[in-house]
């Protein structure tokens, strides 16, 4: 009886832990479900780009407007790997661009190589946040068995994860 109780309790803890994953609050939506101000802003900022998918992210599982983000995944000049995140009123929160490791600026690359000698750089996302305005590189690092994400600004200085907005979690997959 004791083993069954422990097993049930362990399973319950596993389910509770798994259900708190931020990505459970992200789902795909049709373009027709995206608010018109968001579509208009995407068209104004990126007029020649093809949006391949739209996602909705509910921050903290809440469905009120200030906690909802609309994310456009799009191609630029036929290259995939671009995204932009908007509030329902069309305000741009950030946009990101996929970047192969070979084209990360030298000053940032050298700093990463110095700070993480046991890791190799897989790729980066160059992210521009708009409120407040700042640009960072989200670097995906690999070693034998681990994946690690680190953040640097354009000057090559490390940016603490806890100083970044929650939306960054969506990009870390």
Instruction: Give yes or no: residues 29 and 98 share one domain.
Output: no
Q: Contact, 42 vs 68, CB < 8 A?
A: no
Whether 127 is covered by a domain: the verdict is: yes
Q: What is the mean pLDDT of residues 145-168?
A: 89
Residue-wise pLDDT for 54-98, tens only, equals 999 887 655 555 679 999 999 887 788 899 999 999 999 999 999
C-alpha to C-alpha distance for 31 and 40, rounded to whole angstroms: 12
Number of folded domains that form the chain:
2
Q: Which residue has the tokens 């960054």?
A: 168
Considering the entire predicted model, what is its pTM? 0.75
Pick the last residue of a domain from 90, 119, 144: 90
The burial class, CB within 10 Å (0-12 / 13-18 / 19+), for 124 is: buried
Domain encompassing residue 162: 94-173
Whether 44 is covered by a domain: the verdict is: yes
Residue-wise pLDDT for 8-17, tens only, equals 455 445 444 4
Whether 7 is covered by a domain: the verdict is: no
């Amino acid at each position: 009886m004791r083993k069954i109780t422990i097993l049930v309790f362990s399973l319950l803890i596993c389910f509770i832990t798994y259900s708190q994953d931020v990505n459970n609050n992200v789902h795909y939506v049709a373009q027709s479900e995206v608010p018109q101000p968001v579509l208009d802003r995407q068209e104004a900022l990126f007029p020649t780009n093809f949006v391949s998918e739209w996602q909705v992210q509910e921050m903290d599982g809440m469905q009120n407007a200030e906690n909802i983000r609309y994310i456009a995944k799009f191609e630029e000049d036929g290259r995939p790997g671009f995204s932009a995140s908007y509030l329902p009123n069309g305000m741009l929160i950030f946009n990101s661009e996929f970047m192969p490791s070979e084209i990360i600026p030298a000053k940032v690359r050298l700093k990463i190589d110095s700070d993480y000698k046991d890791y190799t750089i897989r790729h980066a996302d160059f992210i521009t946040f708009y409120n407040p305005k700042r640009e960072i590189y989200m670097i995906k690092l690999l070693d034998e068995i681990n994946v690690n994400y680190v953040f640097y600004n354009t000057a090559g200085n490390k940016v603490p994860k806890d100083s970044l907005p929650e939306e960054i979690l969506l990009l870390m997959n």
